[in-house]
Amino acid sequence: MEDLKIGVYVCNCGTNIAHVIDAESVKNYAATLPGVKIARSYRYMCSNPGQEMIVEDIRSQGLNRVVVAACSPRMHERTFRNACRTAGLNPYLCEMANIREQCSWVHNDSVAATEKAMALTRAAVLRVACQEPLEGLTAEMCPTTLVLGGGIAGLTAALELADGGFPVVIVERADRLGGNLTRVDLTAPHFDSARDLVRERIAHVRGNPNVTVMLRSELRSLSGFVGNFTAEIATNGGKPTKVRVGNVVVATGYKEFDASRVTHFGYGKLPNVITSFDFERMLRAGRIETKDGRLPQYAAIIHCVGSRSEEFHAYCSRVCCMTALKYANEIKSAIPTCYVSDLYIDMHAFGKGCEDFYKRSSEAKTLFLMYGKGDHPVIRRAASTDDCDMLIEVEEKLSGEHIEIPADLVILMVGMEARADAADVAHVVNISQDKSGWFIESHPKLDPVATTTDGVYIAGTCAAPKDIPDTVAQARAAAARILAKIAKGKIEIDGVFAEVNEEQCSGCRMCNELCPYSAIEFDADKKRSHVIPAACKACGACVAACPSAAIKGRHFTDAQIFAQIEGVLL
Amino acid sequence: MSYEPKLVGFLCNWCSYTGADLAGTSRIQYPPNIRIIRVMCSARIDPSFILQSLGKGADGVLICGCHPGDCHYSEGNYKAMRRYPLLKRLLDAYGIEHERVRLEWVSASEGQRFADVVADMTERLRALGPCRVKTALATDQIER
CB contact under 8 A, A516 and B57: no
Whether A105 and B79 lie within 8 Å, measured CB to CB: no
**Does the beta-carbon distance from B53 to A565 stay under 8 Å?**
yes
Residue B136 has pLDDT above 70, yes or no: yes
Q: Is A241 left (phi over 0), alpha (psi -120 to 50) or beta?
A: beta
Residue B33 Cα distances to A105, A239, A553, A564, angstroms: 14, 63, 28, 16
A259-283 as b/e, with b when 16 or more CB fall inside 10 Å? Answer: beebeebbbeebebbbbbbebbebb
The DSSP secondary structure of A221-239, one letter per residue, reads: EEEEETTEEEEEEEETT--
Of B28, B44, B52, the CB nearest to A541: B44
A559 touches chain B (CB under 8 A): no
CB-based contact B74 A109, cutoff 8 Å:
no
- Mapped onto helix, strand or coil, the DSSP state of residue B27 is coil
Tell me whether 0.85 is exceeded by the ipTM.
yes
What DSSP character marks residue A433? B
Contact by Cβ (8 Å): A476, A251: no
Is there a contact between B21 and A106 if contact means CB atoms under 8 Å apart?
A: no
For A269, list phi and psi in degrees, rounded to 5. Answer: -110, -50
Q: Which of B2, B86, B85, B10 lies closest to B43 in space, CA to CA?
A: B10
Which one of B36, B39, B74 has the shortest CB-CB distance to A102? B36
Reported CATH class of domain B7-143: alpha beta
Compute the distance between CA of residue A449 and CA of residue A34 in angstroms, rounded to an integer.
Answer: 48
Q: pLDDT of A72-127, one tens digit each?
A: 999 999 999 999 999 999 999 999 999 999 999 999 999 999 999 999 999 999 99
CA distances from B77 to A328, A500, A506 (A): 50, 22, 26
* A567, amino acid identity: G
* C-beta atoms of B6 and A569 within 8 A: yes
- pLDDT value of position A28: 98
Q: What is the pLDDT of residue B140?
A: 76
Burial label for A199, CB within 10 Å (0-12, 13-18, 19+), is: middle
Q: How would you classify the pairing of strands B101-105 and A65-70? A: unpaired
> Is pLDDT above 80 for B143?
no
Contact yes or no for A530/A521 (Cβ under 8 A): yes
Distance between A384 CA and the closest CA of chain B, angstroms: 56
Partners of B76 on chain A (C-beta within 8 Å) are 516, 539, 541
Q: How many residues does chain B have?
A: 144
How far apart CA B126 and CA A387 sit, in angstroms, is: 81
Domain edges within chain A:
6-134, 145-253+419-491, 259-416, 494-554
Which residues have a Cβ under 8 Å from the Cβ of A294 and sit 6 or more positions away? A408
Q: Do domains A259-416 and A494-554 have the same CATH topology?
A: no
Euclidean distance between CA atoms A502 and A526, whole angstroms: 9
A442 with B72: CB under 8 angstroms? no
3-class DSSP string for A90-143? CHHHEEEEECHHHHHCCCCCHHHHHHHHHHHHHHHHHHHHHCCCCCCEEEECCC
Contact A351, A467 (CB under 8 A): yes
| Residue in A120, A452, A558 nearest the CB of B74 | A452
Nearest CA in chain A to B35: A568
Q: What is the pLDDT of residue A1?
A: 60
Measure A78 CA to nearest chain B CA, in Å: 15
- What string of DSSP letters covers A188-213? TTT--BHHHHHHHHHHHHHH-TTEEE
Check A562 against B52: CB less than 8 A apart. yes
Burial (CB count within 10 angstroms: exposed 0-12, middle 13-18, buried 19+), residue B14: buried
Candidates A101, A107, A565; nearest CB to B32:
A107
Q: Which residues of A touch B53 (CB under 8 A)?
A: 565, 569
What is the distance between the alpha carbons of residues A130 and A556, in angstroms, rounded to a whole number? 10
The CATH number of A259-416 is 3.50.50.60
**pLDDT (0 to 100) of residue A482:** 98
Quote the CA–CA distance of A146 and A249 in Å, as a whole number.
6
The answer to whether the Cβ–Cβ distance between A109 and B25 falls below 8 Å is no
- Tell me: domain A145-253+419-491, CATH 3.90.79.10, correct? no
How far, in Å, CA of A120 to CA of A69, rounded? 8
Residue B1 has pLDDT above 70, yes or no: no
| Domain over A494-554 is classified CATH 3.40.710.10 | no
- Inter-CA distances, B103 with A568, B27, B76, Å: 20, 24, 14
The pTM of the full predicted model, rounded to 2 decimals, is: 0.73
A125 interface with B at CB cutoff 8 Å: no
With beta carbons under 8 A apart, name residues in chain B contacting A454.
none
Residues of A in contact with B27 (CB under 8 A): 105-106
Q: For chain A, what's the residue count? A: 570
List the single best residue of B13, B16, B45, B74 to mutate versus A (max A Cβ within 10 A). B74
- Please identify every stretch of chain A with a pLDDT value under 70, giving residue numbers as ranges: 1
Domain at A6-134, CATH from 3.40.50, 1.10.1740, 3.20.20, 3.30.70: 3.40.50
| Residue ranges per structural domain of chain B | 7-143
CB contact under 8 A, A106 and B6: no
Among A115, A545, A565, the residue with its CB nearest the CB of B37 is: A565
- Min Cα separation A190/chain B (Å): 40
Instruction: Report the phi/psi class of residue A442: left, alpha or beta, with left for phi > 0 and alpha for psi in -120 to 50.
Output: alpha
Average pLDDT in the B115-143 region? Answer: 90
Alpha-carbon span A259 to A350, nearest angstrom: 25
Q: Which pLDDT does position B142 carry in this prediction?
A: 66
Residues of chain A found within 8 Å of residue B30, distances taken between Cβ atoms: 106-107
| Minimal CA separation from A426 to chain B, in Å | 13
- Closest CB from B8, B27, B32 relative to A569: B8
Distance, CA of A205 to CA of B71 (rounded, Å): 39
* Partners of residue A95 on adjacent β-strands: A67
> If interface means Cβ-Cβ distance under 8 Å, which residues of chain B face chain A?
6, 8, 13, 17-18, 20-21, 23-25, 27-32, 35-41, 43-46, 48-49, 52-53, 56-58, 72-76, 79, 83, 115
Partners of A517 on chain B (C-beta within 8 Å) are 73
